[in-house]
């Protein structure tokens, strides 16, 4: 065998051993958590019932607020994020009225109140979970305010934000969490 081939085999075997021997490290890196401050633009959006909603008023409530960015026809990460909201509402039971869940459309051209209402019905969403849309300009303002702007829906990523009502700071969760991890992150904010 020539030296190049032996080197390639050695590097492959070394990389395989490193990857197999460090599963706990891979487990640690599932999501990234940071604490952030955000200033919301004073925009009016529309919810799944067609009602106009002042986002700033909805977000600055005296209860924890959880926000994600999804769209109604998404078949990749949006269902996973929405399942997290469903699980949170189920785990909290009657206490689910003590949290405001907000899904903000990243596809306002297609996410009409009817589409959003059907989406929430599909997930058996309880009261306290609103799906909001608006003009492209207002949605972009909101995404930029949360440092979550994406130029098109196909390049979106899993992002969940949890607002602490005591200090107004946000826990920014970048990546996907299990239902227990999501509940634990919510608890850290003082939600239960």
Contact 186, 178 (CB under 8 A): no
- Per-residue pLDDT averaged across 128-156, rounded? 93
pTM here? 0.83
Instruction: Identify which of 127, 131, 36 has the alpha carbon closest to the alpha carbon of residue 81.
Output: 131
| Tokens encoding 111 | 């996410």
The domain spans of the chain are 32-188
Residue 43, H or E segment: none
Encode pLDDT of 32-75 as tens digits. Answer: 999 999 999 999 999 999 999 999 999 998 999 999 999 999 99
Encode pLDDT of 149-179 as tens digits. Answer: 988 888 789 999 999 999 999 999 999 999 8
CATH fold of the domain at 32-188: Glutaredoxin (3.40.30)
Encode pLDDT of 3-21 as tens digits. Answer: 544 433 333 333 333 333 3
């Amino acid at each position: 065998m020539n030296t190049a081939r032996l080197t390639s085999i050695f590097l492959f075997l070394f990389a395989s051993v490193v990857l197999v021997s460090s599963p706990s490290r891979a487990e640690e890196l599932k999501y990234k958590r940071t604490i952030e401050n955000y200033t919301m633009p004073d925009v009016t959006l529309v919810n799944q019932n067609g009602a106009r909603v002042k986002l700033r008023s909805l977000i600055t409530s005296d209860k924890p607020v959880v926000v994600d960015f999804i769209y109604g026809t998404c078949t990749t990460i949006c269902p996973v994020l929405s399942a997290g909201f469903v699980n949170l509402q189920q785990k909290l039971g009657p206490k689910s009225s003590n949290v405001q869940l907000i899904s903000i459309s990243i596809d306002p051209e297609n996410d009409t109140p009817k589409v959003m209402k059907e989406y929430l019905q599909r997930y058996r969403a309880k009261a306290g979970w609103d799906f909001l849309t608006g003009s492209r300009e207002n949605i972009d303002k909101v995404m930029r305010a949360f440092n979550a702007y994406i130029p098109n829906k196909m390049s979106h990523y899993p992002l969940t934000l949890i607002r602490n009502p005591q200090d107004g700071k946000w826990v920014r969760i970048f990546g996907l969490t299990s239902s227990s991890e999501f509940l634990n992150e919510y608890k850290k904010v003082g939600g239960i």
